Amino acid sequence: MDSSTFMLGSLLVLLCVVPIASVLTKQAQKNKKVIKQLNAFAKGKNLNLTSTEITHRLVLGYDKTARTFVFASLLDKERTYKIIEMKNIKRAWLLVNELDKNEIEKISIQFEGNTPIKGVVFYDDFTDSGKDTFVCKHIANSWVDILQQ
For 58-117, how does the pLDDT look when each residue is reduced to its tens digit (9 = 90+)? Answer: 999 999 999 999 999 988 888 899 999 999 999 999 999 988 877 888 999 999 998 888
- How is the beta sheet containing 119-124 ordered, strand by strand? 89-100, 103-113, 119-124
Instruction: Tell me if 135 sits within 8 A of 118, measured CB to CB.
Output: no
What pLDDT shows up at residue 65? 95
Does residue 23 contact residue 35 with C-beta atoms inside 8 Å?
no
Q: According to the model, what pLDDT value does residue 145 have?
A: 94
Summary mean pLDDT of the chain: 89
Which pLDDT does position 1 carry in this prediction?
Answer: 58
d(CA 144, CA 108): 10
- Per-residue pLDDT for 27 more than 80? no
In this prediction, residue 30 has a pLDDT band, given cuts at 50, 70 and 90, of: confident
% helix, strand, coil for the chain, step of 5: 45, 35, 25
Report residue 48's pLDDT band, with 50, 70 and 90 as the boundaries. Answer: very high
Q: Residue 42 — pLDDT band, cuts 50, 70, 90?
A: very high
Rounded Cα–Cα distance for residues 94 and 145 (Å): 10
Q: What is the pLDDT of residue 14?
A: 77
Task: Report the range out of 2-6, 14-18, 59-63, 75-79 with the highest average pLDDT.
Answer: 59-63
Over pLDDT 70: what percentage of the chain? 99
* pTM, entire model: 0.83
| Exposure on the CB side of residue 20, measured as CA atoms within 13 A | 5
